[in-house]
Chains A and B, each alone.
Chain A
Amino acid sequence: MNAIEIKNLTKNFGEKQALQGLNMTVPVGSIYGFIGENGSGKSTTEKIICGLIHPSGGSVKLYGKDYTDEESRANLGVLIETPGCFSNLSVWNNLMIQAKNLSIENPEDEIRKILKLVRMEGAAGNKYKNCSLGMKQRIGIAMALLGKPKLLVLDEPINGLDADGMRIMREILVDVTKNGATVVVSSHILGELEKVATHYGIVRKGKMIKEMTAEELEKSCRTYVALQTKNMDETKKLLSYKYSRVEKDEKGYLRVYDVVKTQEIVAYLYENGVIVNEIKTDKIGLEEYYIDLMSEKGVK
């Protein structure tokens, strides 16, 4: 059984088609990285999963049951956009409100455990309005984790977090899935997402254009040769004669994406009077894979 199964999901806002027959499958126990440009339909999909907006068509199933089913809804933990907290109340009281709404038994114990999990034990008495952005995001995660949900839907949870905050968030997500939960997480910070996601879904213009596992991404992310010489412009011109795709990256390396050995490139440049200062092979990451896919450069 899948945690989420979406078929032909459509959503129209007036004349605008936000979702155009989106399909999505999230396996149980996975950390599903949900990726797409702004306005691609990620948040709309997440809001539909959470029952906050109604789809125009298609079906959404959570653990095999319709998303409107009360039992399937009770399995959800949600952080959409911002944590739903009252600014004049303390962190503890905000969590207590959510715990009571969820009819959790022994809410004090559970809140203490969750505050420990999100590394916020010392901030329970702080007023929500006085918390930093990173703390607020973690409070949002804590709210979502109340009641031990089987399915967590997190919209941009690492936005605005510092490096330490991102690390903590990663650890939390891994901890949660170790306990059997499934996580759907959307983010623009693909480098971070790559460190934890086990599955990916790439959405564009309201359609799922690619779904794959982390292993499949690994295989899809082709290797390239990166090199530096004294005269990069001349080198690029030379390499472009022989290889189909040569690009300069932001670190100042020339990248050759063709399947080729480093020795072959070194020899070719040497024959043409160019000495290679540095050469290495590497793999493109999720971010570059995504950019390639979006710009339809034809990465496998």
Chain B
Amino acid sequence: MEKNFINTSFSKKLKSMLNVDFKRLSVSPFFYVMVGISLVVPILILVMTTMMDGVVTNNPQTGLPGEPMQGFDYVWQILGSLSGTSVEQSGMTMDLVSMCNINMMFFAVAVFVCIFISEDFRSGYAKNLFSVRARKTDYVISKSIVCFAGSACMFIAFFIGAIIGGAVADLPFTMQGFNGANLVFCMLSKIFLIPVFVSIFTLMSVIAKQKSWLAICLSLGVGMLLFMMISTLTPLNANIVNVLASIAGSVLFAVGMGAISNLVLKKTSLI
């Protein structure tokens, strides 16, 4: 009995697996839900914080009036803050508003990656895949690339949502202390930083396998440790250095975490 696929090269295998994973992503309702959420969230944030801007609420413990709620001064604040400024100087305090920016999308990415990968193990797809294929490397590479692409779509959706939300909330699109090029670099550095997190979340997902809840908990826990570096690496006044730093970090993490993910798949049970 002749087999018609026995001598397939690594690149061909990877290509076919990428093809499959992109196809899966394109037909996955979950992916579109995540992109939809990414689009709607900034609209809601900008509209609601603008509506609440200046509203004073009483402190429930003392009964005295608290600090007035502070909204966004301009639309782009939802994409980050300027580097070299303290929290106060950047016009934002450590309140709800300052936390509700694009950086929280990295947590949404954690949910997306963990559920996307754990579905492979839950459905038995991984079982089919690994029983006839010895290479775990192409699986890790393929998942990382596809999850990066999916996550990038979520970030772009958030950016579009921010523009729509800004227009709806009638917030100014002014750029204070940065220009259009900085804004582009800021978005690029955030997008190129995604692989750092995707590689971590992929590792957590292959550790947890079909237990998506465990993968999400682990990912959020580890993601939290790196969360603070996001605003430092990707400020609103970012330049090419920030983009290159993000790419370098991503390459390092993708290779390192990818190798560990590969090792985990090789050394542990796959079901």
- List residues of chain A with CB under 8 Å of any chain B CB: 47, 50-54, 68-71, 73-78, 80-89, 93, 97-98, 100-105, 110, 143, 147-150, 153, 179-181
Contact = CB atoms under 8 A, between A and B. Distances in A.
B12 A103 contact: yes
Contacts of B129: 84, 101
Contact of A105 (B1, B5, B28, B133): B5
Contacts of A76: 131-132
B202 to A, nearest CB: 18
8 contacts: A52-B131, A53-B271, A81-B124, A84-B126, A102-B5, A103-B12, A103-B16, A179-B1
Looking at chain B's contact residues, the main secondary structure is helix
A246 B173 CA distance: 95
Interface residues of B, number: 36
Which are the 3 A-B pairs with shortest beta-carbon distances? A84-B124, A84-B128, A50-B131
A88 B27 contact: yes
Contacts of B19: 100
Contacts, number: 117
Looking at chain A's contact residues, the main secondary structure is loop
Interface string B221-236: 0000000000000000
B62 interface: no
A101 B123 CA distance: 16
Given A97-B20, A100-B20, A179-B1, A80 B6 contact: no
Interface string B112-146: 00000001000111111111111100000000000
A234 B13 CA distance: 72
Contact of B270 (A53, A75, A89): A53
B20 A101 contact: yes
Contact of A84 (B13, B125, B135): B125
A180 B1 contact: yes
Given A84-B123, A84-B125, A101-B16, A54 B269 contact: yes
A74 B6 CA distance: 6
Contacts of B84: none
Given A100-B19, A103-B12, 8 more contacts: A51-B130, A75-B3, A82-B124, A98-B128, A104-B5, A150-B3, A179-B1, A180-B1
A295 B85 CA distance: 80
Residue picked from B126, B132, B269, most chain A C-beta under 10 Å: B132
Residue picked from A47, A68, A86, A105, most chain B C-beta under 10 Å: A86
